[in-house]
């Protein structure tokens, strides 16, 4: 993992990264990208593809998602909302299918993350947990029972 913020030092060009994207893409905004890395790798069990102060990319079971630092959005329409200090992620539930929720809760406890609901078997056939990350996004790791 690198902590440099110079795009020339990235593991691939931003254009090559953009070409990888297909279908739905998830991009989350963070005050501190590097502080979020342990949640995504330890709690969610994702593979870190790359991280620096501006950007991080993760992969889990063929799905990739990215984090961007707030300051990288200074010319983006969302910047006004970020400046207003609004809660992040309210109303969104990010499900990560195939991540064992019990293991995710154990890692969340180690990292001091807030667990909304511990791993529970649900009537619709999954075992799932509801865990907030460092920015307040609600993640739901689940497995089929």
Average pLDDT score, the chain: 88
Q: What is the mean pLDDT of residues 62-91?
A: 80
Residue 69's pLDDT is what? 92
**34 domain-assigned:** yes
Of 5 and 110, more confident: 110
Would you say residue 61 has pLDDT above 70?
yes
Of 16 and 4, more confident: 16
73 secondary structure, DSSP code? G
**1 domain-assigned:** no
What's the CA gap between 24 and 42, in Å, rounded? 24
β-pair type (93-97, 115-121) = unpaired
Task: Please list, residue by residue across 13-48, b when 16 or more beta carbons sit within 10 angstroms of its beta carbon and e when fewer do.
Answer: eeeebeeeeeeeeeebbbeebbebbbbbbbbbbbee
Q: What is the pTM of this model?
A: 0.85
CATH number at residue 70: 3.10.180.10
Q: What is the mean pLDDT of residues 104-116?
A: 97
Q: What kind and span of H or E run contains 110?
A: helix 101-111
Split into its structural domains, the chain has a count of: 1
- Give residue 55's domain range: 7-144
Residue 8's pLDDT is what? 52
Place of tokens 């060009």: 13
Band (59; pLDDT cuts 50, 70, 90) = very high
pLDDT over 90, % of the chain: 63
Starting at the edge strand found earlier in the chain, the sheet holding 63-69 runs: 27-30, 63-69, 55-60, 47-51
**Sign of the alpha-carbon torsion through 90, 96, 102, 107:** negative
pLDDT tens digits, 40-50: 999 999 999 99
Residue 25's pLDDT is what? 84
Cβ count within 10 A of residue 136? 11
β-pair type (63-69, 93-97) = unpaired
**2 domain-assigned:** no
How is residue 50 written in tokens?
């790359």
pLDDT over 70, % of the chain: 88
């Amino acid at each position: 993992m690198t902590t440099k913020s110079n795009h020339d030092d990235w593991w691939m060009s931003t254009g090559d990264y953009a070409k990888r994207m297909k279908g739905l893409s998830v991009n989350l905004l963070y005050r501190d990208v590097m502080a979020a890395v342990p949640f995504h790798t330890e709690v969610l069990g994702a593979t870190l593809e790359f991280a620096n102060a501006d950007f991080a990319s993760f992969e889990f079971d063929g799905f990739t998602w990215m984090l961007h630092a707030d300051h990288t959005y200074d010319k983006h329409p969302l910047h006004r909302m970020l400046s207003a200090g609004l809660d992040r992620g309210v109303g969104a539930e990010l499900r990560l299918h195939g991540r064992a929720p019990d293991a995710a809760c154990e890692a969340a406890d180690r990292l001091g993350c807030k667990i909304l609901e511990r791993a529970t078997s649900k009537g619709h056939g999954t075992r799932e947990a509801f865990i907030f990350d460092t920015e307040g996004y609600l993640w739901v790791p689940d497995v089929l029972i």
